[in-house]
Amino acid sequence: MKIMKIKIQSRAEHDLDLRNLAKAIDKVKNSNKKKGIYFESLTAVRKILTDNRLEVWRAIRDIKPESITHLSEILGRGFRSVHRDVMLLKELGLIKLIEGPGRRGNVQRLVSLYDELVLAVA
């Protein structure tokens, strides 16, 4: 089971973690693995990981929709808002898009990179 850790920490702790991560990346060139997503406050977490975005992530994880269009149909939401949420989840590293053949040409299949999200307060 893959788990993404989401932590809340002070700006100073965050900056120190970033410096340490940069040093570690310099040592290991092919180190693309994230250790987590960091926010300064619970308010910041809630602005990014809204109920709708978490619903999108869960649907991708559990239902494995064929495309963003399929996902928007499942959720009963407009394509544009679902697409925006999908792109943000991709940018956060929670999901990935895999291009492949579909019924009407190429589609981007949605894949969750994690089975669980864990929120920790440091």
The pLDDT tens digits of the residues spanning 19-38 come to: 877 776 666 544 455 568 88
Distance of CA 43 to CAs 8, 13, 58, 84, Å?
10, 18, 21, 20
Domains in the chain with CATH codes:
3-121 (1.10.10.10)
Question: What is the rounded distance in angstroms from the CA atom of residue 17 to the CA atom of residue 6?
Answer: 14
pLDDT digits (tens, 9 = 90+) for 78-116: 999 999 999 999 999 999 999 887 777 788 899 999 999
The pTM of the full predicted model, rounded to 2 decimals, is 0.72
